[in-house]
Structure formats: structure tokens, C-alpha cells
């Protein structure tokens, strides 16, 4: 006879149920306890708004290969950049960081994500750059705006941000023949303490992931550093999406997980350039996709946050390229 009794959790010093090999108290205990608690200040679920027509880019702006067709060409990982290429990459990344910094200041109750998209689009063009996301596999906008339970790839629309929302702005610019990619999660008005904690811990996870980048280490080490910190606070780490190589190609074949993935055994080498972009959820790490084919939300409707930098591997560690420094332009 079937019963509805809850599964028995392991003891605090027993191996965690997830198979990580860590003690339960150091892995999923805090998260499991948090999920038993009622949601705090749970906002109404995000629903799709009206999406305005795709914005145009002046003809004189250089554009990536997929700008018209929407179909990027699959290419192998290119060799390490020479000094001239790296200089162009640093300029693109600095521009992306400056755009993100300025767009974050626009976040306030009442502004629509479409208005932020329009301002971002204009900022790219002012730098002489092309919005990397625009028509990438058909994506209709110039940045991704992911609000509350939206994990990533949110499409800007006419929904106005509400007091207490959190919103991730994912900025990528194609400039000087290179893609510069960065994102951050911002508070909108007065945000509850749990959401603030989620944002803070996600940023700490990014910093720890960057600190784990050393030549000779493996990409698994980056994910382990992120996941251990996230699980300490009971947050889920999204596994469906990972960091990636970047440069002349928007998404180059380097795989950077944000969890301890045994398959991520490739060795980190000097000259590599890739993104680290952990996504942390208040609850489950499971996600689902809207019918629009882009918007990814948490499976349980709880909030998600993300931060991202593009990094360059040096002989001693990671150089963060997406820093808002006009002297780099």
C-alpha cells in the first residue's frame, strides 16, 4: 500500500542524498530546511508582456555573422588570442561593463524592461557596437532582462518593474570584432532581506569561481568553489546552463559549470577567455522554459539571481576583463 509519508533525510554527518560525497550538513541540509519554510514576500508570478518590434542598427556598425540570418556558424575553439586581438577583446569587455553599470542605474519601480532595452541598444550604438543578442538564433532584443523567478534569457517587454522586484541585466556587445559579455542582478526599490541575501551570495559565488581559476586546475574546480558556497546558504545552483568561451565567437566551445561536474575535467590553460556566470535559486535548481522558446524560470516559482564576468587566464590566475574602466577603451 502506498503512503504519502515524507522521505527520511540523512543524518547531519551522513553522506548527502545528492551523491556529492560531502556530509549532509555541508551540502543540502540548509537548503532542505529553507525549502520547508513558507516563501517570504512572494510576488505574483511573472507573466509575458508585449514585446516591441526588433530595433534597428545603423548600417555603418560592424555586425556579427548571424546579424541577418539569425544563425551563427558552428566553429571550433580558436587558438589563444595574440596581443592585438586581446587588446580588442579588452575594449569590448570594458564597453560592456560600462553599459551594464549605466543600465543598472535605470532600475526603479515603474520603468519597463523594454525601456531599459531601448537605452541599452542606444548605448551599444554610441560605442560603435552591435547588440550581440539581437537576432542571435532569432532573439528579438538587445539584452536579456530576467525578473524575479526568471533565471535567464528573459525578453524585455512592456511590464513595468515593481517595488521589491529583482532584475538581472545581461549585456553583451560586439565591438572591434569581439563579444564582451557581463551581467548583474539589481534591486528594484525596497527588496526583502532573503532576496538581498540571494543577490549577495550569488555575487560571492562569482568571485569564488574567479579565484578558483588557475592554470593547471580543472574547470570542475571552478564549479566546486561556487556550489560549496551556494549550498552553505541553502541555495540551488542551476545546472542547465554554464559559462562558455567567448571572443570573435559569441559562444565558443569551452564549458564552465557552476557545480561540481566530474565531466568538467578539461585543464585550464593560459590564454583561455571564458565567462563565469552562476545562477542561484532560492529553492530548487530545476528550471522550465516558457513557450516563447527563450524565457527560463525556476520550477518552483522562487527567485533566482545571476552575476557574470568575462575572464582571461594568465600565468598566475584570472584577469577580469569586464571592468567598467574608460581608460581601457
pLDDT reported for residue 10: 78
Q: Are 219 and 268 in contact (CB under 8 A)?
A: yes
Residues 212-235: tens digit of each pLDDT: 999 999 999 999 999 999 999 999
Between the alpha carbon of residue 30 and those of residues 58, 239, 261, 299, 302, the distances in Å are 51, 19, 21, 19, 16
Q: Are 197 and 235 in contact (CB under 8 A)?
A: no
C-alpha cell at 326: 574608460
pLDDT reported for residue 40: 45
Identify the sign of the CA torsion 293, 299, 304, 309: negative
Considering only CA atoms, which of 247, 230, 246 is closest in space to residue 238? 230
Which band of pLDDT confidence, cut at 50, 70 and 90, is reported for residue 14? confident
Q: Is the pLDDT of residue 1 over 90?
A: no
Which band of pLDDT confidence, cut at 50, 70 and 90, is reported for residue 5? very low
User: Cα(244)–Cα(106) distance, rounded to whole angstroms?
Assistant: 28
Which band of pLDDT confidence, cut at 50, 70 and 90, is reported for residue 2? very low
Q: Report the predicted TM-score, pTM, of the whole model to 2 decimal places.
A: 0.88
Question: What share of the chain has pLDDT > 70, as a percent?
Answer: 89
CATH architecture of 77-328: Alpha-Beta Complex (3.90)
Residues 154-177: tens digit of each pLDDT: 999 999 999 999 999 999 999 999
Q: Are 235 and 31 in contact (CB under 8 A)?
A: yes
Which band of pLDDT confidence, cut at 50, 70 and 90, is reported for residue 151? very high
Q: Is the pLDDT of residue 97 over 50?
A: yes
User: Cα(187)–Cα(165) distance, rounded to whole angstroms?
Assistant: 6
pLDDT reported for residue 16: 76
Q: Residue range 5-29: average pLDDT?
A: 65
79-97 b/e (C-beta count within 10 Å ≥ 16 → b)? eebeeebbebbbbbbbbbb
Q: Residue range 288-314: average pLDDT?
A: 98
Structural domain spans, the chain:
77-328
Instruction: Give 237's strand partners.
Output: 280
> What stretch of H or E contains 254?
strand 252-256
The full 3-state SS of 136-156, as one line of letters, equals HHHCCCCCEEEECCEEECCCC
Residues 71-91: tens digit of each pLDDT: 999 889 999 999 999 999 999
Amino acid at each position: 500500500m502506498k503512503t504519502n509519508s515524507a522521505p527520511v533525510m540523512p543524518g547531519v554527518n551522513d553522506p548527502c542524498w545528492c551523491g556529492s560525497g560531502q556530509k549532509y550538513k555541508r551540502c543540502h541540509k540548509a537548503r532542505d530546511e529553507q525549502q520547508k519554510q513558507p516563501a517570504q514576500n512572494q510576488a505574483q508570478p511573472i507573466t509575458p508582456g508585449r514585446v516591441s518590434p526588433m530595433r534597428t542598427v545603423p548600417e555603418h556598425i560592424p555586425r556579427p555573422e548571424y546579424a541577418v540570418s539569425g544563425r551563427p556558424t558552428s566553429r571550433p575553439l580558436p587558438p589563444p588570442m595574440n596581443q592585438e586581438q586581446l587588446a580588442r577583446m579588452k575594449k569590448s569587455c570594458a564597453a560592456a561593463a560600462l553599459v551594464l553599470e549605466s543600465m543598472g542605474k535605470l532600475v526603479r519601480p515603474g520603468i519597463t524592461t523594454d525601456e531599459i532595452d531601448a537605452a541599452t541598444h542606444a548605448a551599444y550604438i554610441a560605442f560603435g557596437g552591435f547588440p550581440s543578442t539581437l537576432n542571435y538564433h532569432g532573439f528579438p532584443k538587445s539584452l536579456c532582462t530576467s525578473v524575479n523567478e526568471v533565471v535567464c534569457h528573459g525578453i524585455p517587454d512592456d511590464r513595468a518593474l515593481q517595488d521589491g522586484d529583482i532584475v538581472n541585466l545581461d549585456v553583451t556587445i560586439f565591438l572591434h570584432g569581439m563579444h564582451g559579455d557581463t551581467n548583474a542582478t539589481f534591486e528594484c526599490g525596497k527588496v526583502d532581506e532573503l532576496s538581498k541575501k540571494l543577490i549577495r551570495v550569488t555575487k560571492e559565488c562569482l568571485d569564488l569561481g574567479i579565484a578558483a581559476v588557475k592554470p593547471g586546475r580543472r574547470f570542475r574546480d571552478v564549479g566546486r568553489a561556487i556550489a560549496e558556497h551556494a549550498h552553505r546558504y541553502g541555495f540551488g545552483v542551476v545546472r542547465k546552463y554554464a559559462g562558455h568561451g567567448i571572443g570573435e565567437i559569441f559562444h565558443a566551445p569551452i564549458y564552465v559549470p557552476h557545480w561540481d561536474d566530474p565531466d568538467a575535467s578539461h585543464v585550464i590553460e593560459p590564454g583561455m577567455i571564458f565567462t563565469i556566470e552562476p545562477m542561484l535559486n532560492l529553492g530548487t535548481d530545476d528550471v522550465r522554459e516558457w513557450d516563447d522558446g527563450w524565457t527560463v524560470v525556476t520550477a518552483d516559482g522562487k527567485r533566482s539571481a545571476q552575476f557574470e564576468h568575462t575572464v582571461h587566464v594568465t600565468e598566475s590566475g584570472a584577469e577580469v576583463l569586464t571592468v567598467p574602466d574608460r581608460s581601457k577603451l
